[in-house]
């Protein structure tokens, strides 16, 4: 009944997500589900499990095992059961099997959804009541909460960012879209300054145009503003970062607004600024408001 899913199951997985993860502010598409499963950089086919009866996938889960901050960590990146079949033990069966497989991979601590670099949301939305009950029942506890901001993109003001870019140019600082030739320098800088974000920053190179703005003084990288680093085409903004010495100059604002302008031009009316962070900065810089709250659930695994 529980078996590994493949590309052929993508449409069914998408349908289950649309029906059961129904608080998401974007339409579910096969591309988004693929990004979280078969297309993920850390994809492990043995950790994409479906619960199938009579040829129908009734629920599924995707987990990952990663070395993170010196530890072997595991996460359930997605889990959803078709509402027609919930509360019949399907989620529990999937969780128990995926926990067993994560333990086999040396994982000693398992989290839910807040997977670095490729996450739908940074934890379980507190409004998913069934998920909170389900996880508590299965021995998970909340370690902290994470927050998403939302930002409106309809204002023409985002089009004024070029004036700020010209202002920085007059002070010897270039703000521009990252180019293919910058990749190695940006990767080296990210490893030094923001090791946890290197994967997300480089994921921007998979988009066309490259969904990354950078600030430079000569050859020296000062900072970046990214979007579509994951959750591509859903209005996902971030991350953004400046090296210590470049803070306080207004560069964060211009990099953020340049990235948001791209998203606006791509037709998004809103951007999600996930897993923050500096609320006051984003509130001032682009009028962002506090939006969703997520519980970071965790459980120790004993082998």
Q: Write the DSSP string, 56-108.
A: EEEEEEEEEEEEETTEEEEEEEEEEE-GGGTTSSHHHHHHHHHHHHHHHTT--
Count of residues of this chain found to bind ligand COA when the rule CB under 6 A is applied: 22
Residue 130 interacts with ligand COA (CB under 6 A): yes or no: yes
CB of 233 to ligand COA, least distance (A): 22
Could you tell me how far CA 294 lies from the centroid of its own chain? 13
Residue 294 interacts with ligand COA (CB under 6 A): yes or no: no
Q: Which of 86, 108, 233, 243 binds ligand COA (CB under 6 A)?
A: 86
Q: Which of 10, 90, 203, 259 binds ligand COA (CB under 6 A)?
A: 90
The nearer residue to ligand COA, 89 or 278, going by C-beta atoms, is 89
Residue 79 interacts with ligand COA (CB under 6 A): yes or no: yes
Q: How far apart are CA 34 and CA 196, in angstroms?
A: 23
Residue 47 interacts with ligand COA (CB under 6 A): yes or no: no
Q: How far apart are CA 123 and CA 34, in angstroms?
A: 19
Q: How far apart are CA 16 and CA 75, in angstroms?
A: 20
CB of 136 to ligand COA, least distance (A): 7
CB of 43 to ligand COA, least distance (A): 19
Q: How far apart are CA 165 and CA 174, in angstroms?
A: 7
Q: Which of 134, 189, 194, 294 binds ligand COA (CB under 6 A)?
A: 134
Could you tell me how far CA 82 lies from the centroid of its own chain? 23
Backbone angles phi, psi at 96, to 5 degrees: -65, -40
CB of 135 to ligand COA, least distance (A): 6
Residue 140 interacts with ligand COA (CB under 6 A): yes or no: no
**Interacting residue ranges for ligand COA, rule: CB under 6 A:** 20-21, 59, 79-81, 86-92, 112, 124, 128-131, 133-134, 137
């Amino acid at each position: 009944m529980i078996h590994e899913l493949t590309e052929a199951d993508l449409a069914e997985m998408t349908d289950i997500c649309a029906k059961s993860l129904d608080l998401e502010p974007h339409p579910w598409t096969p591309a988004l589900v693929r990004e979280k499963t078969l297309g993920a950089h850390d994809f492990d086919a043995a950790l994409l499990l479906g619960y199938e009866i009579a040829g129908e996938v009734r629920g599924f889960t995707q987990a990952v095992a990663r070395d993170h901050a010196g530890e072997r960590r595991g996460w359930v990146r997605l889990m959803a059961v078709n509402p027609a079949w919930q509360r019949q033990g399907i989620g529990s069966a999937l969780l128990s099997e995926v926990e067993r497989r994560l333990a086999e991979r040396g994982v000693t601590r398992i989290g839910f959804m807040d997977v670095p670099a490729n996450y739908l949301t940074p934890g379980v939305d507190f409004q998913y009541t069934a998920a909170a009950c389900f996880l508590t029942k299965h021995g998970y506890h909340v370690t902290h909460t994470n927050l998403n901001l939302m930002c409106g993109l309809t204002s023409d003001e985002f089009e004024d960012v070029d004036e700020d870019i010209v202002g920085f140019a007059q002070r010897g600082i270039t703000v521009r879209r990252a180019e293919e030739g910058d990749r190695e320098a940006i990767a080296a800088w990210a490893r030094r300054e923001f090791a946890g974000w290197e994967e997300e920053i480089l994921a921007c190179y998979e988009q066309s145009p490259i969904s990354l703005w950078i600030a430079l003084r000569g050859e020296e990288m000062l900072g970046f503003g990214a979007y579509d680093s994951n959750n591509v085409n859903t209005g996902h903004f971030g991350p953004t970062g400046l090296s210590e010495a470049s803070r306080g100059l207004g560069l964060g604002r211009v990099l953020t607004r340049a990235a948001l302008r791209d998203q606006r031009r791509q037709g998004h009316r809103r951007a999600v600024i996930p897993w923050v962070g500096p609320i006051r900065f984003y509130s001032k810089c682009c009028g962002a408001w506090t939006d969703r709250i997520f519980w970071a659930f965790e459980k120790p695994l004993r082998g």
